[in-house]
Every structure is written in structure tokens, then in C-alpha cells.
Structure 1
Amino acid sequence: MRTWNPQLEWEAQRMKIVIVGDGKVGYNLTKQLSKEGHDIVVIDSNKDVLQESVETLDVMVVHGNGASLKVQKQANVANCDLLIAATSADELNMLCCIVARKLGDAHTIARVRNPEYAEQLIFLKEELGLSLTINPELAAARETFKLLQFPSFLRRDSFAKGKVEIVELILREGGLLDGQKLSELYKIAKVNVLVCAVEREGKAYIPDGNFCLQKKDKIYVTAPSHELTSLIKHLGLVTHKVRDVMIIGGSRIAYYLAMSLLGAGVAVKIIEQRRERCLELAEMLPKATIIHGAGANQEVLLEEGIRETDAVVTLTDMDEENLIVSMYANHLGVPKVVTKINRTEYTEVFRDKGIDCVISPKQITANDIVRYVRAMQNTSGGSVLTLHRLVDDMVEALEFRANATTRHLGETLAQIQLKKGILIACITRYGKVIIPRGNDTIELNDTVVVVTTSDRLYKDLNDIFLDGPVPANTYGTTDPNRS
């Protein structure tokens, strides 16, 4: 029987969601959406993986081909709100969505990975009945490219159409922020930024101005995108520019990433074990250097110049291989190492081994789809525009748009009563980025970035406001990093 977490701030409107495909992406989606209180039916042709979902998650399952009319009827797709097709076959995913739209009026999301389909999807999106298409590999490549642009950051999450970012930094012993109170941040950084979350010894904090930073803290800083270079400079962070990148594994992510890097004038070398794939990559990426060899082989890595490269990105299909190569690259002193990991539940263990900069295609996909689902639930406007999870999923950063139904428009943040544990990290107004202070306001059509712990599920900007007396320290949650 489904139980509801009493700590949740609101009980979501349950939606009926059918997920086709119970692989890594499908299972992660099932886990997250089930946790948020939705009724989930999973379709898969593999009985073993379905059995695992039944045993570990509160979901219904249907065995069979997700594109089959009979199977979709058995899963009651005609009466569902959303169908997500996340199998490993693009064509099957698109067919699943077509059948679902014929059966009922459900929203449909398809996982489509083949770059050759990109143009067709834009052309045929309406005919296929697709509400949203997701390409985990392309999204992972874009995130990796952003990390390579600013090697000092462990992570970069964008809001307000790229005008605002939350970046992750680790504090080194003796650094400018070691031992400093957040109220002193502006004097040190000389840039109008805000620390919206801190990870310390496996715990997440949404800090106030009295919070004192320590070495080894991981801090999440909200800043205008155009100020990132100044932030790095004033904090005395390493500014090593990436001019050449070694990619281990010739996956689709490697192809997408190489295209972006080559377009930016960065030299690319890809090491791939499969000869056939090497030939494909050589044809698709004539400006890249393609090496046929085992990426986990120490001799191959040394011979291909891993010691001299500016960055190593491990993109094989095996987490273990990615971890080993990344640890070796860190050991050799490679300035920037990015590791693709699917089993994110072990991230804390990985970090103890020096694996700080991690990307997870399945997690990126889940975040995009959860954002879409929360927007579907919203009936009053002001729904979630962007959603990113921080601090090993313990914290969420959500972007909302203020509309005519949003309460407290025009009131100063010092006057607004917020629920406990809420931080307003940023306001964007007509393209201008505002790192908020107590005398700032929320106005019509503003976008607002809100940070909170992930056990509080918010789907509307109005959900963050507190009805009733002002609790102690409420103002501290809106303006935490200033005295």
C-alpha cells in the first residue's frame, strides 16, 4: 500500500503515468515519480527487470511490447495523463507515443538518442503527437562542455535561459573563503553572488549570513552568467584554459561533445576499443583524432599523452572503467577530469576516491521529465520552468515565473512571509539578473529561482509563501548571505 511522507509540504495531485522501458533511465524515472506520489504503470518485455521494480517500488507492471495496442490497453493508457517512452530503441519510443495518442489524450514524452532524427523530430513533432523529446546523451554532452569551459567548477546549472547559473565549488584549505562567514562573501568575491547551499560531511545546509565556511565544503553559488569569469578571478581559483581534451569511449555522448569542442577550437582525441565505431567516428568527425585502443589500458593512455592533456572525459558504458581511468588521470595530475556514472547512488563513495566532477545522463533526463510533470500538475500558472537537483539530490533549485495569480507582487522580500527552509536565490526581470536583498520585490513576469530541501515538493510559486504569523528568522531565509 502506498504511504505518503508526512514531511511533504503539499500532497500533489496524483497523475496516472505509464513508463515504457525499465532500463536505467526508466527505473530512475519510476523511482522519482513514484516518490512524488503518482500512480505508475511500467511496461517492459523483460520479466526480470519488472520483478525488481515490483519488489523495490510501489508500482504496477505490465509485461509486453510497449508499442503493442493490446499491451497499452492492458496498461490503461487510454485513461493515463502521461506516457513516457524510454526504451533503448528510438523508433519503438516514437511508435509508443503514436499509439498512446490514438488511444487517448495523454501527454507523451519520447527518449530519442540518434542524432540523425533531430531534424525529423522538429519537422514531425506535431504529427507524431510528441509533447516532449529527451536526448540524454546530448544533454550530458552539453553539461560536460559547460564544465570544460570553466574547469574550476564541479557543476554548472543554468536558469533564466542561461542568464543565471548555480555553480558548485569545493573549498581548498587556505583558500580565500576558508573560515569566512557568508556575510563577508561580497567583500571577498567582489561580485554580487549568493551561496544557496552547502554540502559538509554528507549533509546539506541552506545557510544564513552567519554560516562559517570550512575547507572541504562544497558550496553552490548563484551568480549571473556574465560574472563567472570575475568570480573565478577574485576567489583566486585555477583558471587553466582547456585547449585539448582526451575522451575515453566513442559513445554518442562522445560524438556530441566532440562536435561542440571542435566548434570551439578545442583539439579532441577519442580512444575507442571497437574498430567499427572508430571508422564511424573518423568519418563523422574528420577534425578529431580517433585512436583504436583500450581506453583503460595504461600503456595506451600514456602513449597517447594523457599526462600532457588539459582534460580527460570518461564516457564508456561501464562505470567501473570510467572510475578507474578517472582516478588514474587525477593521480597523474590532469587539470580537469569529468566522469560519466550511471549508478549515482554511490556518488559519496566515488568522491572519497577523488571523483568530484560527475555527469549522469539518466539523472539529467529524470530532472527534465520531473519538471515537465510538475508543470502539468499546475493549474494556476507560475509552474516550474527549470529544475535542478543539488547536493546529491538533497536540495532542489526551481525556477518559476510570476504571473497575475502570484501573491505578494510588489512587496519587498523583507515583508514576504516564506515557509521554513526556503531561499529566494535569484530574480530575473526583463533580462536583468537580481541577486536579491531585503528591499527587492517580485513583479509580474519575473522569473524566480527558489532553493529548498528536496523533501518539499513545490509546483507553484505561491507554494513557497507562508500563511499566518511570520516565523522567527524568516527574513534570514530570503537574504541568507548578508549581515
Structure 2
Amino acid sequence: MQIIIVGCGNVGTTLTEQLSKEGHNITVVDRDPMKAESVANRFDVMGIVGNGASFAVQNEAGIEEADLMIAVTTSDELNLLCCLIARKAGGCNTVARVRNPIYNREITYIKEELGLSMVINPEYAAASEIARLLKFPSAIKVDSFAKGRVELLKCRLGEGSVLDGKPLTYISGGLHCDVLICAVERGEEVFIPSGNFRLQEKDVISIVASSRKANEFFRKIGMTTNRIKNCMIIGGGETTYYLAKQLLPMGIEIKIIEQNKERCNELSELLPQAMIIHGDGTERNLLYEEGMPRAHSFVAWTNLDEENIMLSLFAKSVSKAKTITKVHRIAYDEIIDSMDLGSVLYPKHITAEYIIQYVRAMQNSIGSNIETLYQLIEDKVEALEFRVQEKSALVGIPLMELQLKENLLIACINRRGTIITPGGQDTIELGDTVVVVTTNQGFHDLKDILK
């Protein structure tokens, strides 16, 4: 597809990298010549310097031939204007990043009146991601397939884990759990394991299962499955507001610590059921006074990466809380991943991932049968969900007879809402959706899994 991306910040750069890898023709637009040139050279795409809301600049970027315009500058108004002009000039699909809560309350009206295909609110998306993680206290990352019926969960095996030294066959034979381990990270190495693969303590494993079966598995291997009853949040920004709105109806007690007194007053009016504390969330004594050692979950969501990292490490040392850490700077992800920070969320990645899912849905309507795609392990392992729309060489043949590519695992089959953990005798049928985990790149169709 022909895609124009306006804004070369972290989100724009992440989108350009991922979408150019997938074979789309990308043109990036930014007012800053250095940013536009840097992204264009780095990913070998076309770069244009100028205001993305200018009709002349959009013409230069090829708006008349474009299939999609994505506006992800730091200004909501500029993003909306870019999309409005793109709709009038080229009639293409449009995606706008809009973060102001005032616009968020009117999002349906804005989408309909401006003809937007998608509006993404980064703060709301991040809050939804945190809420999903709190459903599974043992997981450090949660993704969903089969319209939410299947969870793809990532967790770290602790020291002395019951799975240490055990082959994967022990999970079904010894623990009697119907879950599938589809990827294992061990230091720098990544494995798509077979049944004889032996796990070790400190491995990071990715499992595919329904919510109920995942919780049963965590319980049997001694990981936390208790429902989270309270949450302490440091930082009272928009993400915190959206998160509290999602958690309070679930009966979770919310305590927010915020430095700005004016913002505390606002939050007290907006969230009467939550406890709002005016104070410095990095003060050790305050955290003790407010009960950090008894916290079930702890979210470090200030605007400073260093503060968030320090706070999560402190929370880990004094409590058994599920910790969630906000990090902006993507460049240091390898160092950050080596620390025990619980779940680390990069807001820019979350925004980019939602937009990329929309792009794939568009592609799906023009030939590709990918329903969902997640980067399970950055640039190393992908999890893809395919819909079987037509009779092909795979349909009706037992999986053990298929000549599959190396480093590939069929993780799950969804047949009209029934979730099948596949064995050698199972088959893929018309109308199924199939989840595939692989280290291979560039799959567009289910038949690409064959040698």
C-alpha cells in the first residue's frame, strides 16, 4: 500500500520501520529537515520537509495515489487538519493521533464529521494495556487473539521453579495443563521449542491459552494468580485518569500520588472514589506511610524514565506488588529489559502497535489474510493470526503430515469459538483462525508456513 506518515517522532519512526519492513511504500513528512532526512535515510523511504496539513506538501507526497494517511505529530489539531485535507484531496483512509481528553469525549462525532477511519488516544491505549496486565499478575506482557478468547502471555520463571529442568511434555503429562509454550528467551538466545525442550529457571516463556487455563497453569507452577485488590499509582496524568476509570468499577482500590496540587484537586473531582495524595511520589517515607509494602500492584507513571525505574525497583524490594513501569526512551530497551522491573510499557510502541493492527486489517480486505500480528520478541519472533478464507493445500490434512518451515509452531486453532491446542492429528478447516509463532519474517498468507 501507499502510506503517508506525518510526524517523525518516536511513533512515526516506529511505524515507518515496521510498515516499510512489511513491503509498503512509505513517504514521511516533517517540518524538521533533520528528522525527515534521518528517518528517510535510515529506512530507505521518501522524505519530505514541510507542513503535513499543507495541500501542496500533501500533493508532493502523492496524496492522490495514497491508500492511507497517518498523522502522528505532537499537535492534535494539526493531525485532524492533515486528515481532513487528505480526505478531500485524495479520498484515502486516515488515522489521527488525538490525545486531548476534551476531544476524547467527542471522538465519535469527530470521526463521523471528519470522515476519519481511526482515532488513537495514546493515554487511553496505555491505560487499557495496564488494565489487561493487572488481570494476570504473573504476566509481564499480555496480547489477545481470537477476539479475546485466547491470551498470549509472557512470564519469567523464578529461581527454584517447578519447571526448572523439565521438558515441555511435563506440562501436559505432569501438570495436566492445556497450555502451549510457543517461545523461550534465554539470555540473548530465542527458541521455538519442541516437546523435548528442557526449561530452566529465569527463562522468559511465552504461553498461549484461554484466560481460565492460563490462570490454572500459573497456580500449578506457584505463580501469583490472586485477584489484585488495590493499586498505587505515582503520577496523576491522563493515563492515570483513564486507568482509574477502568479499575474502580472492578472493585480495585486506587491510590494516586501527584505532586501538582491543582491536578490533585481536578482528580478529586473527576475520581471521587479514588484516594488522591498530594506529595512527592519519590519520597521513601511517603511511600511507606501510604502502604507501599501492602500494595498488590504498583504503577510508576511519571514523566521521567529514571524516576519510574527507581520507583519500580524500590517497590520490588519492599513488596510483592505487580509492578508496571513507563519508559519513553526506546534506545535503552536492552539495558532496561535486563532489570527486574516487572512489566515495562513504552507508550509510543503501544500507539504504533494499534495503528499497525489497523493497517493489517486494511490489507486483509485487499488480499492478505492476516487478522492480527504481534512482535512477541522485538525483531526476533512474531505471532500471527490467519483466517482460512479459501480451500488451500493445508485444509483437512493432519498437522503431522504438513511440511512446515523451520522455527515455526502452530500455537492455536479457533474453530467457531472453540479453542483447540493443536496436536499432530488435528487439521485446519475452512473458516478457522490459526495462530502461528515463528522467527521467520514477511508472512502474508497461511500457505507461507509451508516449505
1:46 aligns with 2:32: yes
Percent identical pairs in the alignment equals 48
Change (3 A) 1:52 1:298: farther
Correspondence for 1:458: 443
CA contact (8 A) 1:240 1:335 kept: no
What SS class does the counterpart of residue 44 from structure 2 fall into? coil
Change (3 A) 1:389 1:189: farther
Query: Structure 1 residues 85-94 or 46-55, which shifts more?
Result: 46-55
Change (3 A) 1:406 1:373: farther
What SS class does the counterpart of residue 19 from structure 1 fall into? strand
Correspondence for 1:170: 156
Mapped partners of 1:97, 1:243: distance in 2: 42
Q: 2:412 aligns with which of 401, 421, 426?
A: 426
Which AA in structure 1 matches 2:310? I
Mapped partners of 1:114, 1:189: distance in 2: 48
Correspondence for 1:404: 390
Report the Cα offset of residue 177 of structure 1. 0.7
Q: 1:96 aligns with which of 82, 101, 111?
A: 82
CA contact (8 A) 2:382 2:438 kept: yes
Mapped partners of 1:96, 1:71: distance in 2: 10
Correspondence for 2:55: 69
1:78-117 mapped onto 2 (5 Å cutoff) = 78-117=64-103
CA contact (8 A) 1:381 1:403 kept: no
Change (3 A) 1:18 1:389: same
What SS class does the counterpart of residue 237 from structure 1 fall into? coil
Mapped partners of 1:458, 1:345: distance in 2: 27
Query: Structure 1 residues 128-137 or 244-253, which shifts more?
Result: 128-137
Which AA in structure 2 matches 1:412? P
Correspondence for 1:134: 120
Correspondence for 1:179: 165
1:196-275 mapped onto 2 (5 Å cutoff) = 196-275=182-261
Mapped partners of 1:145, 1:88: distance in 2: 25
* RMSD between superposed Cα atoms in Å: 2.1
CA contact (8 A) 1:21 1:87 kept: yes
Unaligned ranges ≥5, structure 2 = none
1:301-380 mapped onto 2 (5 Å cutoff) = 301-378=287-364
CA contact (8 A) 2:155 2:206 kept: yes
Report the Cα offset of residue 55 of structure 1. 5.0
Correspondence for 1:469: none
What SS class does the counterpart of residue 76 from structure 1 fall into? coil
Mapped partners of 2:100, 2:276: distance in 1: 20
Report the Cα offset of residue 18 of structure 1. 1.1
Which AA in structure 2 matches 1:35? K
Which AA in structure 2 matches 1:128? L
Mapped partners of 1:75, 1:343: distance in 2: 29
Mapped partners of 1:303, 1:51: distance in 2: 51
Q: 1:300 aligns with which of 286, 299, 310?
A: 286
What SS class does the counterpart of residue 70 from structure 1 fall into? helix
1:281 aligns with 2:267: yes
With normalisation by structure 1, the TM-score equals 0.88
What are the Cα deviations for residues 192-225 of structure 1, in whole angstroms up to 9, with x where unaligned? 1111000001221111111110111011011112
Query: Structure 1 residues 255-264 or 275-284, which shifts more?
Result: 275-284
Report the Cα offset of residue 381 of structure 1. 4.5
CA contact (8 A) 1:408 1:416 kept: yes
CA contact (8 A) 2:104 2:121 kept: no
What are the Cα deviations for residues 269-310 of structure 1, in whole angstroms up to 9, with x where unaligned? 112222332222222111111222222233332332222222
Change (3 A) 1:44 1:354: same
What are the Cα deviations for residues 423-459 of structure 1, in whole angstroms up to 9, with x where unaligned? 1100011111000011111111111111111x51112
Report the Cα offset of residue 96 of structure 1. 1.2
Change (3 A) 1:379 1:364: same
Query: Structure 1 residues 370-379 or 176-185, which shifts more?
Result: 370-379
Q: 2:134 aligns with which of 148, 168, 176?
A: 148
What SS class does the counterpart of residue 399 from structure 2 fall into? coil
What are the Cα deviations for residues 327-380 of structure 1, in whole angstroms up to 9, with x where unaligned? 111122342111112223423312333223112222222223333334444577
Report the Cα offset of residue 118 of structure 1. 4.2
Which AA in structure 2 matches 1:166? L
Q: 1:125 aligns with which of 84, 106, 111?
A: 111
Which AA in structure 2 matches 1:306? M
CA contact (8 A) 2:183 2:191 kept: yes
Mapped partners of 1:56, 1:278: distance in 2: 43
Query: Structure 1 residues 115-124 or 315-324, which shifts more?
Result: 115-124
Which AA in structure 1 matches 2:47? V
CA contact (8 A) 2:322 2:342 kept: no
Mapped partners of 2:262, 2:59: distance in 1: 41
What SS class does the counterpart of residue 79 from structure 1 fall into? coil
Change (3 A) 1:184 1:124: same
Mapped partners of 2:41, 2:444: distance in 1: 29
Q: How many residues align?
A: 451
Mapped partners of 2:375, 2:85: distance in 1: 33
1:379-390 mapped onto 2 (5 Å cutoff) = 381=367, 383-390=369-376
Report the Cα offset of residue 227 of structure 1. 1.6
With normalisation by structure 2, the TM-score equals 0.93
Which AA in structure 2 matches 1:40? I
Query: Structure 1 residues 53-62 or 180-189, which shifts more?
Result: 53-62
Mapped partners of 1:345, 1:185: distance in 2: 37
